[in-house]
Structure 1
Amino acid sequence: MKAKTLGLIHTSATLVPVFQNLCTQYLPDVKVFNIVDDSLIKDVIARNELTKLTSRRVVDYVGSAEAAGADFILVTCSSIGAAIEAAAELTGVPVLRVDQPMADLAVKTGKRIGVIATLPTTLGPTSDLVKRRAILAGKEIELTSKLCDGAFEALMSGNAAQHDEMVAKALIELSAVVDVIVLAQASMSRVVDGLSEEQKRIPILASPALAIQHIADLLK
C-alpha cells in the first residue's frame, strides 16, 4: 500500500519543527513536506485584513501542494482561514484549516466559549469559525473574544517574557467567565504549559496537536 503524503503550508518557519514533531508522533508512516511563506501573514498584519491578492496566493500554494503529490493538505495559519476554505473548494484532495478541529472540540466541550489572540487579524477569523461550527453542530453558544493587545509586538521585539506574562494574565481572567478557551494562535500554547493546575481550571485548547490528531484519525 502506497504511503500517504501530507502537505503542510505555513506562514512562519517557526511552526515547521512544531508540526514535524507532531507528525513524527501521530503520523509516523506518513510522508510530510512543508511550504513556507511568511510574506502572507506579514501582508495580512500590515493591511489589517486578508486581501484578494493574498487569498489568491494561498489558493495557489494549496494547488502547488496538491500538484506535489499531497493526499491531504493542512494550512497552519488561522489568519488566512477564509482563503483556505476557498482553496478547499478548488482542490481534489482534502484541505484543512488548522483551527477547525479545535473549534469543533470547543463547541462539544461547553456553551460559554472564550477565544484569545494576540492579533486582531487572527481573533476575528477564529471567532467566526467557532460560531459557524456551532451552527453546523446545531448548538447555541456564548462567545467571548479577548485580544492581548501589545503581546504580539512584545514577542516580535524579542521580549518573550512580557508576551507570556500578558497572555497568562488574559487566560486566567478569561477562565473565570467561560467553560473552555480556544487559543487562536499556536504561539500561545507554550504559555499554557507554564500555568499551574489551579490556573488551568478549564480546558484550554491549542490547534496544532488537535489538527494532526484529526488527520491521523482520518487517514486510518
Structure 2
Amino acid sequence: MHVPTFTDLLARLAPGTVATHAVDEALLRDAQANGHAHPAIVGRVQAAVRALADQGARVVLCTCSTVGGAAEATPTAGTFTAARIDRAMADRAVELGPRVLVVAALQSTLAPTAALIAESAHRLGRPVQLRQHWVEGAWAHFEAGQREAYQRTIADAVRAAVGDAGVVVLAQASMAGEADALHDL
C-alpha cells in the first residue's frame, strides 16, 4: 500500500539499496478479521517472509504494524534477518515516556503496537503508562484516496485525545504525514 513511501525513504536514507516490495492486502484484511496472532495469520506472514528470503533477500523488513510481530518472529536459521519497521519507534516512545498515547486508523493495529511498546518497556527497564486511541472512520478516507480528509481526521483525533501524554505514537506508516501537522503538541 505504501510502496512509493518506502521507495522514497530508501532512496534518501540508503541510496543504491535494492529492494523488492511485497504487498498482500488480503492478508491485512484477514488479520483485521481474525486477529494478528491467529495461527493462520502468523503462518501466512512467516511463509511470505521465508519466500522473500528464498528469493535472495538478506533482510526482510515488515512495514505493517498489524503483522510486524509475526514477521519479526519468523525463524531464520541465521540465513537472513526478519525485522519490523516499528521496533525503533516503540523503543524511542518508551525512552521519551512514560505517558504514551498510541493512535491508529486501523483498530487491528492497536493491540500489536501496544504489545510492542510494553515489550520495549520491559526490555529497557522503563515504566510506561499506555493509552490507545482508534480513529474510527479514518481508514475509509485512506482507502478512498482522500488523503486530506485522512490527515485532518487523524490530526483532529490526536488533538482531542492527547491529554497528558508526553509521547504520541502514530502507529501506522500511512500516518507519517500527520507528524508535521502535530509538532505544536
Q: TM-score, normalised by structure 1?
A: 0.76
What RMSD over aligned residues (CA atoms) do the two structures have, in Å? 2.0
Deviation of residue 112 (structure 1)? 0.8
Contact 1:72 1:94 in 2 (8 A): yes
1:94-109 residue pairs with structure 2 within 5 A? 94-109=81-96
Aligned equivalents of 1:42 and 1:82: distance in 2?
16
Identity of aligned residues (%): 31
Contact 1:175 1:201 in 2 (8 A): no
Equivalent position amino acid for 1:17 in 2: P
Instruction: Specify the alignment match of 2:132 in structure 1.
Output: 145
Instruction: Specify the alignment match of 2:150 in structure 1.
Output: 163
Equivalent position amino acid for 1:100 in 2: R
Instruction: Specify the alignment match of 2:4 in structure 1.
Output: 17
1:123 matches 2:136: no
Contact 2:36 2:67 in 1 (8 A): no
Equivalent position amino acid for 1:45 in 2: Q
Aligned equivalents of 1:59 and 1:191: distance in 2?
31
1:200 matches 2:169: no
Instruction: Specify the alignment match of 1:206 in structure 2.
Output: none
Equivalent position amino acid for 1:23 in 2: L
Deviations 1:166-207 (A, max 9, x none): 2111222333411111111111122233x2xxx5235xxxxx
Contact 1:66 1:73 in 2 (8 A): yes
Deviations 1:16-45 (A, max 9, x none): 111111111111132222222211102122
Between stretches 72-81 and 175-184, larger displacement belongs to 175-184
**Which runs of no fewer than 5 residues in structure 1 stay unpaired?**
1-11, 203-220
Equivalent position amino acid for 2:171 in 1: A
Aligned equivalents of 2:175 and 2:155: distance in 1?
9
Aligned equivalents of 1:71 and 1:80: distance in 2?
20
Instruction: Specify the alignment match of 1:45 in structure 2.
Output: 32
Aligned equivalents of 1:157 and 1:38: distance in 2?
15
Aligned equivalents of 1:23 and 1:160: distance in 2?
22
1:178 matches 2:165: yes
